[in-house]
Amino acid sequence: MRGGNGRQHGDFGLGTFDHLDSKGILLGDQYWQARADGSLSLAPDDELTPFFVVTHFQADETHNWSNIQGWEKL
């Protein structure tokens, strides 16, 4: 991201992009851009971000589930 690279501050975050035209999601080392039309794509490196909050994610618990047969069962 131009104007700063949040990856140095964390690996999980939420924010917005210039002109508030979409939501930003940082997962691992990738910035994703979620638009109002439901589309999701990797954000271009030159995209401006007026606001982003990031942290280093550490799970309190982890679970491995197998054989899940749909959202209702989950």
What is the pLDDT averaged over residues 45-71? Answer: 89
Mean of the per-residue pLDDT values of the chain: 86
Q: Quote the percentage of the chain above a pLDDT of 90.
A: 47
What is the pLDDT averaged over residues 56-73? Answer: 88
Q: Where are the domains of the chain?
A: 6-55
Contact 52, 2 (CB under 8 A): no
Contact 25, 41 (CB under 8 A): no
* pLDDT value at residue 2: 42
d(CA 43, CA 10): 17
- For 11-23, what is each residue's pLDDT tens digit? 999 999 888 879 9
Fold of 6-55: 60s Ribosomal Protein L30; Chain: A; (3.30.1330)
What is the pLDDT averaged over residues 42-46? Answer: 90
Query: CA 51 → CA 20, 31, 34, 36, distances in Å?
Result: 10, 13, 15, 18
pLDDT at 5 over 80: no
